[in-house]
């Protein structure tokens, strides 16, 4: 919604009108349009009452990310919200610029899936000064919490712990680990790395012998795995990949090197993409810790409350599950991404 400055009162009352529309998620009309790559349609809302949300996405580095984008776009479309979408192409500076532009455009709210956790305070202050609420989704940030309304996503620390806990049990606490880490500086990579290391710390027989970044991308996961295989040959036992795309790329490299993933070496991953859960069924991945990308409904429910002046929890975490040979065959049918 484009509002004429300077009246914050007018802005507020229009927001309240729009809140009703946000809450109508389940009542969208059949002619609702799905958001395009730049701006979503708003056919569920009467003319002149649409609210506009800017969404600064990390990029499209993984299938998980594509599902996350789709979740927010489709939920916005259902609710008649105009979504201004920016793909930051994995460049933190693009993302800051996108948020700054949303502030200049006077959007009604901003949603950010931060690439990295640092560097956010100046632009968040600009949004706060402009009275624009900000929701952080997916990856947490290191910033004064008063600068944004809430965080919605998965608990990466718990994910790292769950992966470690499963591995300690499955190996009896022994094995040489290669780690494929995610985007450097991202909460997802930093938390999963630290929590996993903490989780195996009580098992001195489990050692991380090398750790390299594959940037959460399948092609880089494969390339980095090829380099690790050249360096370590067969002198390792376990791959810990911070996401499924890297694990799936690495599996290709492992097979090309003449090893059987899931058997000669164990593969531990995070996300829960259908392809990865299928790889458990096929015996190529041993365990996947879920990280649910489908947070669109929670994001827009929270936004409705925020725009209505209600308080929302500072942090809302998904309930994520663990998939292994005991449940993968049942779960693979239910995977939506």
d(CA 256, CA 234): 13
Q: Does 216 bind ligand AHR (CB under 6 A)?
A: yes
Q: In this complex, which beta carbon is closest to ligand AHR, that of residue 160 or of residue 199?
A: 160
For ligand AHR, give the closer residue by CB, 155 or 245. 245
- Closest distance of CB 62 from ligand AHR, Å: 4
Task: Tell me how many helices (H) and strands (E) the chain has.
Answer: 11, 12
**Residue 135: phi, psi to the nearest 5?**
-110, 130
Return the number of the residue (108 or 245) whose C-beta is nearest ligand AHR.
Answer: 245
Tokens of 71: 């979740």
Beta-carbon neighbour count of residue 44 at 10 Å?
21
Residue 323 sits in the site that holds ligand AHR (CB under 6 A):
no
* Site membership for ligand AHR, residue 95 (CB under 6 A): no
Task: Collect all residues with Cβ–Cβ distance below 8 Å to 267 and sequence separation of at least 6.
Answer: 238, 239, 241, 247, 250, 251, 254, 261, 279, 284, 285, 286
Label the pairing between strands 134-137 and 206-213.
Answer: unpaired
Chain center to CA of 14: 31
Q: Does 190 bind ligand AHR (CB under 6 A)?
A: no
Question: Does 243 participate in binding ligand AHR (rule CB under 6 A)?
Answer: yes
Measured CA to CA, the distance from residue 46 to residue 157 in angstroms comes to 43
How buried is 330 (Cβ within 10 angstroms: 0-12 exposed, 13-18 middle, 19+ buried)?
Answer: exposed
Residues 256-275 close enough to bind ligand AHR by CB under 6 A: 270-271
- Closest CB to ligand AHR among 166 and 216? 216
CB-wise, 19 or 323, nearer to ligand AHR? 323
Q: Residue 64 or 236: which CB sits closer to ligand AHR?
A: 64
- Which residue lies nearer to ligand AHR by CB, 219 or 264? 219
Quote the least distance from Cβ 10 to ligand AHR, whole Å.
37
The least distance separating ligand AHR from the CB of residue 244, rounded to whole angstroms, comes to: 7
- Contacting ligand AHR (CB under 6 A), which of 139, 149, 218, 305? 139
- Report, in Å, the least distance between residue 35 CB and ligand AHR: 20
Residue 320 in contact with ligand AHR, rule: CB under 6 A: no
* Number of chain positions touching ligand AHR (CB under 6 A): 13
| Residue 98: partners with Cβ closer than 8 Å, 6 or more residues away | 54, 56, 86, 88
Both tokens assigned to 93: 């500076």
- Closest distance of CB 292 from ligand AHR, Å: 10
Is 188 one of the binding residues for ligand AHR (CB under 6 A)?
yes
Query: Pick from 254, 291, 306, 332: which binds ligand AHR (CB under 6 A)?
Result: 291
Among 137, 138, 155, 331, binds ligand AHR (CB under 6 A): 138
The strand ranges marked E within the chain are 52-57, 82-87, 109-112, 134-137, 150-153, 175-181, 206-213, 238-241, 266-271, 287-290, 315-317, 322-324
Query: Which of positions 54-93 make contact with ligand AHR (CB under 6 A)?
Result: 61-62, 64-65
Q: Reading across the β-sheet that carries 150-153, which strands appear in turn?
A: 82-87, 52-57, 109-112, 134-137, 150-153, 315-317
For residue 273, give the nearest of 249, 285, 290 by alpha carbon.
290
Please say which residue, 168 or 288, places its beta carbon nearer to ligand AHR: 288
Write out the residues near ligand AHR by the rule CB under 6 A.
61-62, 64-65, 138-139, 188, 216, 243, 245, 270-271, 291
């Amino acid at each position: 919604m484009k509002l004429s400055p300077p009246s914050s009162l007018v802005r507020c009352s229009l927001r309240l009108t729009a809140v009703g529309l946000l809450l109508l998620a389940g009542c969208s009309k059949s002619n609702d349009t799905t958001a395009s790559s730049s701006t979503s349609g708003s056919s569920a809302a009467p003319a002149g009452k649409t609210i506009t949300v800017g969404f600064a996405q990390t990029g499209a580095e993984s299938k998980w990310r594509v599902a996350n984008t789709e979740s927010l776009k489709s939920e916005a479309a259902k609710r008649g919200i105009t979504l201004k979408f920016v793909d930051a192409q994995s460049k933190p500076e693009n993302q800051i610029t996108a948020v700054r532009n949303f502030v200049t455009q006077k959007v009604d709210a901003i949603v950010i899936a931060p690439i990295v956790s640092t560097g956010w305070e100046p632009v968040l202050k600009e949004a706060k000064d402009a009275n624009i609420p900000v929701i952080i989704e997916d990856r947490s940030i290191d910033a004064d919490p008063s600068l944004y309304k809430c965080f919605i996503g998965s608990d990466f620390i718990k994910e790292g712990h769950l992966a470690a806990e499963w591995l300690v049990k499955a190996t009896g606490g022994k094995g040489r680990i290669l780690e494929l880490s995610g985007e450097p500086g991202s909460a997802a990579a930093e938390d999963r790395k630290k929590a996993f290391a903490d989780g195996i710390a009580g098992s001195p027989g489990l050692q991380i012998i090398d750790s390299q970044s594959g940037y959460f991308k399948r092609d880089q996961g494969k390339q980095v795995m090829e380099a690790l295989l050249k360096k370590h040959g067969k002198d390792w036992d376990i791959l810990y990949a911070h996401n499924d795309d890297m694990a799936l790329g690495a599996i290709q490299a492992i097979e090309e090197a003449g090893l059987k993933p899931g058997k000669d070496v164990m593969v531990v991953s995070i996300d829960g993409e259908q392809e990865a859960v299928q790889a458990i069924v096929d015996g190529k991945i041993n365990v996947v810790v879920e990280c649910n990308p489908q947070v669109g409904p929670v994001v827009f429910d929270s936004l409705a409350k925020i725009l209505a002046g209600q308080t929302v929890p500072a942090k809302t975490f998904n309930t994520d599950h663990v998939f292994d040979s005991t449940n993968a065959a049942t779960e693979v049918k239910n995977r939506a991404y």
